[in-house]
């Protein structure tokens, strides 16, 4: 009896944990991470192609609002979001800069991963309806765009992770195309 009582008392905090409480815990854990450097592998499945496109590279994050996606294979590409600026560099098009304030269709894509890693729930809720599942130890966060313009480009984004770490980001587009980015700590 003592053993069961001890187990019950030890689990008591978890029994009353709502999805909102768990999401708040995950957001705090993510916000506590000052910087991330991780490898990624991204697989894009497009209806017009017979086989998925696969790319790999490195992600960098530095609190509160710096995110860089550096694709190394099969072709180099560099996407860097710093504050409200997005810099895109490709071998074909060169280097271009965009003020995210002037491109409302781009900002939700950037904020999906950047605001999540920053633990910035307010920013996420500005662009998405949030649906949290799981526990702080093993979670998923479904982001559904709130803006009709953004819904033309993305149906839903699902981020999965553990505690203060994002493990994957899956993007589903309205036309059925999808991408899955798997993130591995270095």
Pairwise CA distance, residues 98 & 137, whole Å:
36
Express as a percent the part of the chain with pLDDT over 90.
81
Please tell me the predicted confidence (pLDDT) of residue 185. Answer: 83
Pairwise CA distance, residues 71 & 80, whole Å:
11
Give, in order, the Cα–Cα distances in Å from 146 to each of 110, 116, 122, 158, 185: 15, 16, 14, 15, 31
pLDDT classification of 18: cutoffs 50, 70, 90: confident
Give, in order, the Cα–Cα distances in Å from 19 to each of 26, 77, 125, 148, 157: 10, 37, 15, 26, 18
Please tell me the predicted confidence (pLDDT) of residue 178. Answer: 97
Q: Where are the beta strands (DSSP E) in 10-154?
A: 35-45, 53-62, 66-73, 77-82, 85-90, 94-99, 128-135, 138-145
Please tell me the predicted confidence (pLDDT) of residue 163. Answer: 94
Region of poorest pLDDT, from 8-12, 40-44, 147-151: 8-12
Cis bond upstream, residue 26 (ω within 30): no
- Taking residues 87-99, what's their average pLDDT? 95
Give the residues across from 154 on adjacent strands. Answer: none
The per-residue pLDDT for range 111-136, each reduced to its tens digit, is 999 999 999 999 999 999 999 999 99
Q: Where are the domains of the chain?
A: 18-185
Express as a percent the part of the chain with pLDDT over 70.
90
Please tell me the predicted confidence (pLDDT) of residue 16. Answer: 57
Question: How many helices and strands (H and E) does the chain possess?
Answer: 5, 11
The fold of the 18-185 domain, in CATH, is outer membrane lipoprotein receptor (LolB), chain A (2.50.20)
pTM score of the predicted model: 0.87
CA dihedral (41, 163, 31, 123) positive or negative: positive
pLDDT at 53 over 60: yes
- Taking residues 43-70, what's their average pLDDT? 96
pLDDT at 14 over 90: no
Cβ distance 88 to 95 under 8 Å?
yes
């Amino acid at each position: 009896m003592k053993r069961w009582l001890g187990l019950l008392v030890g689990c008591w905090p978890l029994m009353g944990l709502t999805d909102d409480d768990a999401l708040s815990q995950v957001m705090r854990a993510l916000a506590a991470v000052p910087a991330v450097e991780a490898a990624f592998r991204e697989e894009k499945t497009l209806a017009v192609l017979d086989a998925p496109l696969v790319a790999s590279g490195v992600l960098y994050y530095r609190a509160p609002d710096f995110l860089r996606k550096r694709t190394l294979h099969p072709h180099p590409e560099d996407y860097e979001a710093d504050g409200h600026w997005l810099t895109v560099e490709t071998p074909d098009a060169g280097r271009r800069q965009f003020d995210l304030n002037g491109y409302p269709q781009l900002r939700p894509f950037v904020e999906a991963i950047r605001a999540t890693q920053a633990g910035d729930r307010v920013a996420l809720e500005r662009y998405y309806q949030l649906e949290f599942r799981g526990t702080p130890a093993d979670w998923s966060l479904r982001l559904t765009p709130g803006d009709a313009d953004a819904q033309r480009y993305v149906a839903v984004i699902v981020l999965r992770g553990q505690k203060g770490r994002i493990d994957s980001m899956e993007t589903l587009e309205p036309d059925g195309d999808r991408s899955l980015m798997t993130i591995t700590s270095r």
